[in-house]
Amino acid sequence: MTDNERLGIEWACARLINLYATLNDQARWDEVVALYAPDGLMTRPTAPDAAIVGHADLLAAFTSRPPRTTQHVCANIVVSVESVDTASATSAILLFTAPDQPPLVGTYRDRFVRIDGRWLFSERRGALTFSTAA
């Protein structure tokens, strides 16, 4: 693999993380789900032990939530290229949900797979960095 190929994979995976946050904030659920491999797995930072697997269950999980305004901010994205078709990443996330509430601070550990030339999440595992319990 050349340096340019590695950089291209890193860029594509970092873009996927940022696109996910943007589409999520716009409640474009079909497009969010399409960022996952068909058997993709997600855990929310607020429920790190509750895996949601597959397009149908992912869509149901997103659409079952009441509508709300959110703003996700992604930072410290570090992508590790494993092969021409697999990669992983870690990132930090801030989730703003209301002007009078502190943001949730968390992390994601992602795994990516290239299917038919397109990078997708195979796993997106979230966790909170700071507990919201009083």
Tens digits of per-residue pLDDT, 28-74? 999 999 999 999 999 999 899 999 999 999 999 999 999 999 999 99
Angle subtended at Cα 42 by Cα 37 and Cα 46, rounded to the nearest 5 degrees: 165
SS3 assignment, position 31: helix
List, in order, residues 6 or more apart from 57 with CB less than 8 Å away: none
Q: Is the pTM of this model over 0.85?
A: yes
Spatial distance between the Cα atoms of 64 and 62, rounded to a whole number of angstroms: 6
Tens digits of per-residue pLDDT, 3-29? Answer: 999 999 999 999 999 999 999 999 999
Q: Which of 74, 46, 32, 64 is nearest to 132 (CA)?
A: 46
Positive or negative: CA dihedral 18, 20, 21, 27: positive
**What are the residue boundaries of the structural domains of the chain, listed by start?**
3-128
Pull the structure tokens for residue 131.
């507990």
The position carrying tokens 């992508």 is: 79
Asked if 69 and 97 touch (Cβ cutoff 8 Å), the reply is yes
CATH code for residues 3-128: 3.10.450.50
End-to-end CA distance of the chain: 49
